[in-house]
Amino acid sequence: MRTTPKRLAYLAGKLALDKKATDVKILDLRKLSTICDFFVICSASVEIHAKAIADWIIQNLEKKGVKAWHHEGYQACRWILLDYVDVVVHIFLTEVREFYELEKLWGDAKTEELTEVKATSLEKRTKASKTKKRLQS
């Protein structure tokens, strides 16, 4: 599957929401840095919850042909990082997220909170766009 970094970020955020991640935010870093285009940042309640979110994202993106280039943090499960090159997903325990304050560090980034309603709406638009392209072919 070839997808844009922006769509990948929203898909990763939607997958995090599927596993009840909280406070899911997408930071657009394209005008600020060359390290990646987007951060997806979310919170988990306990270590096993963080691992479940990470596993779900990895499994579902792999089904779509998108593999993580690198991941780390699985041993402690307090801050799990999934690196998809253009998109980096950060899954934090709430207290760890509050300590590191990545959103504050990248405060100049355009930030969007992803809710279940927004994620569902984006998913419907993506499906409609794919159907339209198929019909035009």
Domain ranges of the chain: 5-136
| CATH architecture classification, 5-136 | 2-Layer Sandwich (3.30)
Average pLDDT rounded to a whole number, residues 118-131:
61
pLDDT at 3: 84
Q: Where are the alpha helices (DSSP H) in the chain?
A: 5-18, 47-63, 94-100, 102-105, 116-136
Residue 115 is given by DSSP the state -
Mean pLDDT of 88-105: 97
State the average pLDDT over residues 98-127.
83
* pLDDT for res 125: 61
Average pLDDT, the chain: 90
Cα 26–chain centre separation: 7
Whole-number Cα distances in Å, 126 to 8, 39, 121: 12, 20, 9
118 contact partners, CB below 8 Å, separation of at least 6: none
Average pLDDT over residues 110-116: 92
Quote the pTM value: 0.87
Q: Average pLDDT of 83-95?
A: 98
- When pLDDT is averaged across residues 62-89 and rounded to a whole number, the result is 96
Contacts of 79 (CB under 8 A, 6+ apart): 73, 90, 91, 92, 93, 96, 97, 100
Find the helix or strand (DSSP H, E) in which 82 lies: strand 79-83
